[in-house]
Amino acid sequence: MVSILGAGPAGSTAAYYLAKSGYKVELIDKTEFPREKPCAGGLFNPEMYHQEFPHVKEYPGKYIYRSKFYFGIDNDYNVAGYESSRPLLKMVMRKEFDYFLLNKAIEAGALFYVAKNPEGEIIIDATGVKPPHFYKDAGICLVFDYPLSSDIDTVHIHYGFGGITGYAWVYPKQGFANIGIGAYLPQRNIRKIYKNYVDFLRRNRIVEVDDVKYMAKIIPFAPRSRWYERNRVFVGDAAGFVNPATGEGIFFAMLSGKIAARMIVEGRDFNWYENECKRRFGYWLEPIRFRNRPGLLNMILKKAVKIAEKDKDFAGMLTENFFRLGAHNLTWRFLLRLFF
């Protein structure tokens, strides 16, 4: 028998694929479902989700094709817009999406328990984010789903808002706007900067919201040093599989869960798991260049948004890189546009 601890996207996906292959699986969470999870709920590059996890196609979500990238504060900012022919995002409510994935695992034959001791010979640890010291780098995110009177359809990414090493965002959902901010730790005054961002959105009539609300949560920005120990393999946030440039983690959580299931079904070892994860998505977990020089990093991002304002191709590449639609080497293009 296999025990899976944590029934978020990583755990439920591992359980789904193991149960489908005929394995006896116990999926154990510390809480009852459906449960809240502070998250923007953006499935980046939905076409790739549907290709990799065909059952996700059944889940209804709002598709987003338009993006706006900003750099600057208050009324002194550059902004580059882009409309893609392929969906950038499928927006979901995490409470419902995670419950959907859990039910898929149960339908496939996994047994779900709340707060039970694991009995399996192998343990898949999908217990989500750990305290920051578990990871080489970690961040803090503040987020809330605000109900809207009229829907919006453009995602807003505001690099370096309030001087942070990170970005603030608006992700539109059906009937809601998810407004959030994420920055590398340590970060002072993040609550104040979040409030300023909501004010900025109001002033610029991007989103009309009343009270400022948020939930705060730690986010890994680098994998932990070991991805397995003894009979336990780490998947998803427990392993630190989040793209530090965007905060995207759901896809890597689900993919690492699927790879862990494949490891067991094909009788492979933990070393194979580690190499397969690196091969499939290691590129997207690379640390951000100049992350320790926030002044320089923000100067480059500001310049990039300025270039994208005038150059549609560059704006397209920036957008595709951000939403994982494609991996473009932006450096050469950036340098060329800088000097010519």
Residue 316 engages ligand FAD in binding (rule: CB under 6 A): no
Judged by CB under 6 A, the residue of 39, 105, 138, 300 near ligand FAD is 39
Please state the closest distance from residue 208 (CB atom) to ligand FAD, in A.
Answer: 22
Give the nearer residue to ligand FAD in terms of CB position, either 125 or 276: 125
Residue 118 engages ligand FAD in binding (rule: CB under 6 A): no
Please state the closest distance from residue 295 (CB atom) to ligand FAD, in A.
Answer: 25
Judged by CB under 6 A, the residue of 15, 88, 183, 219 near ligand FAD is 219
Give the nearer residue to ligand FAD in terms of CB position, either 253 or 317: 253
Please state the closest distance from residue 5 (CB atom) to ligand FAD, in A.
Answer: 4
Q: Sheet containing 89-91: which strands, arranged edge to edge?
A: 42-44, 89-91, 62-64
Residue 317 engages ligand FAD in binding (rule: CB under 6 A): no
Please state the closest distance from residue 112 (CB atom) to ligand FAD, in A.
Answer: 11
Could you tell me the end-to-end alpha-carbon distance of the chain, in angstroms, rounded to an integer? 62
Which amino acid type is present at position 249? G
Residue 247 engages ligand FAD in binding (rule: CB under 6 A): yes
Residue 172 engages ligand FAD in binding (rule: CB under 6 A): no
Q: Are 40 and 171 in contact (CB under 8 A)?
A: yes
Q: According to CB under 6 A, which residues from 71 to 100 bind ligand FAD?
A: none
Residue with the shortest CB distance to ligand FAD: 249
Q: Between the CA of residue 325 and those of 126, 230, 293, what are the distances in Å?
A: 26, 36, 27
Query: One symbol per residue from 119 to 158: x for binding ligand FAD (CB under 6 A), - otherwise; what is it?
Result: -------xxx------------x-x---------------
Give the nearer residue to ligand FAD in terms of CB position, either 95 or 268: 95
Residue 28 engages ligand FAD in binding (rule: CB under 6 A): yes
* Cis omega (within 30 of 0) for bond into 34: yes
Residues engaged in binding ligand FAD (CB under 6 A): 5-11, 28-31, 37-42, 44, 126-128, 141, 143, 180, 217, 219, 236-238, 242, 247-251, 253
